[in-house]
Amino acid sequence: MTEITSRRGLLFGAAAVSAGALLTGCTSNEPTDSNDESAGNDQPVADDKPGKQVTIGFAGPQADHGWLNAINDNAKSRAEKYSDVTLEITEGSNDTAQQIGQIETLINKKVDVLVVLPADGKALTQVGLKAMRAGIPVVNLDRIFNTPQAYRCWIGGDNYGMGLNAGHYIGEKLKGKSGARVIELAGLDNLELTKQRTQGFDDALKNYPNIKKVARQAAEFTVESGQAKMAQLLQAQSKFDALWNHDDDQGVGALRAIEQAGRDDFLMVGGAGALSAFQAIKQDDGVLKATVLYPPTMAASAIDLARALGQSKGIGGLAEFEIPSSLTLYSAVVDKTNVDQYMSTGFK
């Protein structure tokens, strides 16, 4: 999945659904009436009216994971909604040199704005700087460059918040149970995002002295690794009350292992917001009771931000003339009480 920074400049309060809501048609092409006192500083208001034509270059990593594929789909579908946006999209690559070459091609084409989800934020910082120095504003999506000089705006998810909200959800479900035991199926341990998710989870559990985390196993964000590592956890832990799984893709494998073991004596919370997880939560006949979002709709919002930059507009609902320098999405918990609201945002 993705590497993220701890910056939390602005939270979107309803994650996947409202990640795009604030920014939907976030540009306006007509100034507000200066006689209208509600207009604040007379900044443009949000609407979908066509304005200046904007060419947006989009460069992301290879879509070898459900979440990354959803990133691409969200960017494409959002761009198609605007008659004033042309999207120049590269073939995704996890090879740093290849992605740098793709971005340099977009720079040479003189696109108006760049949206970049780097395969490696550190390694691609220089090409972000190159674009900015060429007068092309960069919307840095999720995996962050090493310096703010390499982007005009960063938008991404909150990994620490994922763990925090998963921990609080589980804590509230188990707060009346003495000696409660929980386990954690993490993602790739060499990624900073995994450490942040675990830290958030552990910090949340500190609020529930009746709960002890008794096991943690790292997987690889894949179905196969989820199944294998979950099977190991089930063998090692004959009794526990809750499981937090960092990723819904590896959760598919984890659920297979749980079914094969015939276990249904605990509750499970997933992560990211896959359609399969939403469907299982809605059906409510298994251990999966909730998932904590890491919304791929951030790519749609990145297109909105890029359009705003290309048209020199701000964001509707904010008083500033300019878009913010960073936007951190909120990691909402989705369970059976609100799953219908988020169903349309689930990725396959």
Residue 41's SS3 state is coil
Label residues 52-65 b or e (16+ Cβ within 10 Å = b): eebbbbbbbbbbeb
Residue 128: name the closest of 155, 153, 92 by CA.
153
| Alpha-carbon span 233 to 258, nearest angstrom | 10
Contact 286, 265 (CB under 8 A): no
Q: What is the pLDDT of residue 46?
A: 41
Cα distances (Å, whole numbers) of residue 231 to 199, 237, 242, 303, 311: 24, 10, 15, 41, 52
- pTM, two decimals, is 0.82
Residue 341: name the closest of 12, 10, 18, 11 by CA.
18
Q: What is the pLDDT of residue 38?
A: 34
Lookup: tokens for 81? 């909604």
- The domains located in the chain, with CATH, are 11-157+295-330 (3.40.50.2300), 159-293 (3.40.50.2300)
Query: Tens digit of pLDDT per residue, the chain (348 long)?
Result: 443 333 333 323 333 333 444 444 343 333 333 333 333 334 333 457 889 999 999 999 888 888 999 999 999 999 999 999 999 999 888 899 999 999 999 999 999 999 999 989 999 999 999 999 999 999 999 999 999 999 999 999 999 999 999 999 999 999 999 999 999 999 999 888 999 999 999 999 999 999 999 999 999 999 999 999 999 999 999 999 999 999 999 999 999 999 999 999 999 999 999 999 999 999 999 999 999 999 999 999 999 999 999 999 998 888 989 999 999 999 999 999 999 999 999 998
Q: What is the pLDDT of residue 151?
A: 98
Nearby residues of 337 by Cβ (< 8 Å), 6 or more positions away: none
Residue 224: name the closest of 250, 202, 189, 197 by CA.
250
Q: In terms of residues, how long is the chain?
A: 348
Q: What is the pLDDT of residue 192?
A: 87
Q: What is the pLDDT of residue 47?
A: 53
